[in-house]
């Protein structure tokens, strides 16, 4: 069964074509800078730089590649029986992968305000795929779904109950990634009755406590802005700052949302949201960059302590996503001085996790430390296949 997985961003489209159930990857690639003159389309070893005006144009390029007469991957588009879509926010409605119909699309649209950077782009991908892969079942897999198991004491905010009843609560994000890497960690541990902390560290970042395979608490909440310090997002701040900006400095609510979403985080602290640039600057003695890295790691450590206490212990700490998988410095800073709760990493293994199958645990550690590459597309394909079956 061939399942195409799409992860649509505002100006990008990541895709993988799987042959299920063996999860064999037939095609992997992306279109980026959609809408710009310097758009780039990559599929396996094929790459072209040309204007790609819309997501529809990107999918047409993909279809042309799949049907290429010299080396066709499919004979016609009807071979693709399902298209799995990553959708960031599912609210209280979607707890499982879901076949997409008009009502589902309306609900995704209604949640635009809760994930303004993501849900509109996700819906664009869905509507485009419906047109081009009209014979395929369209399936939505929601980032928030994994977190529906969070207990009420971790889900509620200490505000009047009528707000909770109207849907204001912790939803959590990066659920597809946290679900995938926590399952992989359990395979490495050889059991499922585990206490894990998953750190998804990319331009967006979140920490999740996973207790016995289920999300127990997570750092992102009602929207994907709070929690850890991120590339351009502030993470946790004192709510009073928002009122001060509104009432005393006369910023509008949209101005403040823009500041906290797009102008804060590492970009505000160090002048860049690219951690590679920040690490280079820190190595050259840049004090702003050094401080930014300390604050970044410090915010993560707060959640490690919090979640270890909540779960009354910890079996494994997981680093994943772009920064988590690739930054030796961040992993070192995060693990520093956590030996009192059993966390210690091996400096040599930390330099090359792949060589050690992702296990960078120090020899005296009581807690396993893993670097596990996330694979959201594989997780989406798996959930879509299970739904089709």
Kindly state whether residue 168 falls inside one of the protein's structural domains.
no
Same domain, 240 and 340: yes
> In the chain, where does DSSP find H-type helix?
55-66, 102-110, 119-132, 152-155, 161-165, 175-189, 240-247, 253-262, 265-270, 275-283, 287-311, 321-326, 328-335, 347-351, 376-388
Structure tokens at 59: 């999918």
How far apart are alpha carbons 53 and 180 in whole angstroms?
A: 33
Tell me if residue 286 is catalytic: no
Same domain, 255 and 133: no
- The CATH number of the domain where 133 resides is what? 3.30.420.40
Q: What are phi and psi of 115, to 5 degrees?
A: -140, 65
Kindly state whether residue 48 falls inside one of the protein's structural domains.
yes
Domain count along the chain: 2
Reported pTM: 0.91
Secondary structure of residue 265 in the 3-state scheme: helix
Same domain, 86 and 14: yes
Strand order, beta sheet including 80-87: 46-49, 40-43, 24-32, 12-19, 2-8, 80-87, 137-142, 98-99
Same domain, 116 and 232: no
Given the structure tokens 């929207």, which residue do they identify? 223
Can you count the helices (H) and strands (E) in the chain? 15, 13
CA dist 319 → 78, 206, 217, 242, 370 (Å)? 38, 11, 17, 32, 6
What pLDDT does residue 34 have? 85
What pLDDT does residue 297 have? 98
Catalytic residue among 143, 193, 247, 315: 143
**Of the candidates 142, 166, 201, which is a domain's last residue?**
142
Low-confidence ranges of the chain (pLDDT < 70): 69
What pLDDT does residue 69 have? 62
Kindly state whether residue 387 falls inside one of the protein's structural domains.
no
Same domain, 357 and 216: yes
Kindly state whether residue 166 falls inside one of the protein's structural domains.
no
Strand pairing report for 46-49 and 40-43:
antiparallel
Kindly state whether residue 92 falls inside one of the protein's structural domains.
yes
Same domain, 207 and 337: yes
Cβ neighbourhood burial of 321 (10 Å; 0-12, 13-18, 19+): buried
Kindly state whether residue 149 falls inside one of the protein's structural domains.
no
How far apart are alpha carbons 175 and 383 in whole angstroms?
A: 13
Write out the residue range of the structural domain in which residue 278 sits: 191-371
What pLDDT does residue 116 have? 79
Same domain, 136 and 199: no
Same domain, 120 and 236: no
Nearest to 193 by CA among 217, 174, 211: 211
Same domain, 130 and 221: no
**Of the candidates 142, 163, 182, which is a domain's last residue?**
142
**Of the candidates 142, 161, 177, which is a domain's last residue?**
142
């Amino acid at each position: 069964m061939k399942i195409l997985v799409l992860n649509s961003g505002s100006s990008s489209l990541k895709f993988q074509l799987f042959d299920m159930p063996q999860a064999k990857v037939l095609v992997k690639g992306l279109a980026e800078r959609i809408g710009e003159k310097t758009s780039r389309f990559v599929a396996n070893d094929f790459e072209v730089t040309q204007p790609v005006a819309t997501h529809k144009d990107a999918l047409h390029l993909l279809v042309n590649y799949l049907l290429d007469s010299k080396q066709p991957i499919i004979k016609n588009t009807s071979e693709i029986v399902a298209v799995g879509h990553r959708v960031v926010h599912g609210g209280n409605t979607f707890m499982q992968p879901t076949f997409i119909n008009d009502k589902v699309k309306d609900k995704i649209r209604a949640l635009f305000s809760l994930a303004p950077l993501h849900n509109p782009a996700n819906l664009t991908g869905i509507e485009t795929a419906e047109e081009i892969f009209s014979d395929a079942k369209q399936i939505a897999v929601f980032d928030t779904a994994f977190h529906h198991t969070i207990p009420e004491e971790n889900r509620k905010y200490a505000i009047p109950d009528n707000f909770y009843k109207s849907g204001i609560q912790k939803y959590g994000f990066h659920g597809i990634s946290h679900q995938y890497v926590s399952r992989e960690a359990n395979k490495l541990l050889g059991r499922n009755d585990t206490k894990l902390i998953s750190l998804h560290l990319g331009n967006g970042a979140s920490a999740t406590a996973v207790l016995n395979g289920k999300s127990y608490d997570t750092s992102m909440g009602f929207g994907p802005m709070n929690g850890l310090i991120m590339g351009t997002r502030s993470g946790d701040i004192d709510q009073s700052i928002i009122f001060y900006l509104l009432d005393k400095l006369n910023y509008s609510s949209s101005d403040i949302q823009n500041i906290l979403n797009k102008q804060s985080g590492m970009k505000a602290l160090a002048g860049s949201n690219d951690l590679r640039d920040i690490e280079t600057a820190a190595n050259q003695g840049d004090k702003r960059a050094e401080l930014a890295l300390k604050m970044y790691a410090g915010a993560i450590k707060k959640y490690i302590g919090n979640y270890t206490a909540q779960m009354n212990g910890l079996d494994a700490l997981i680093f994943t996503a772009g920064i988590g998988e690739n930054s030796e410095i961040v992993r070192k800073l995060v693990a520093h001085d956590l030996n009192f709760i059993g966390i210690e990493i091996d400096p040599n293994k930390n330099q090359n996790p792949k060589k050690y199958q992702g296990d960078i645990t120090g020899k005296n550690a009581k807690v396993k430390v893993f670097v596990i590459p996330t694979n959201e597309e594989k997780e989406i394909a798996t959930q879509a296949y299970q739904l089709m079956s």
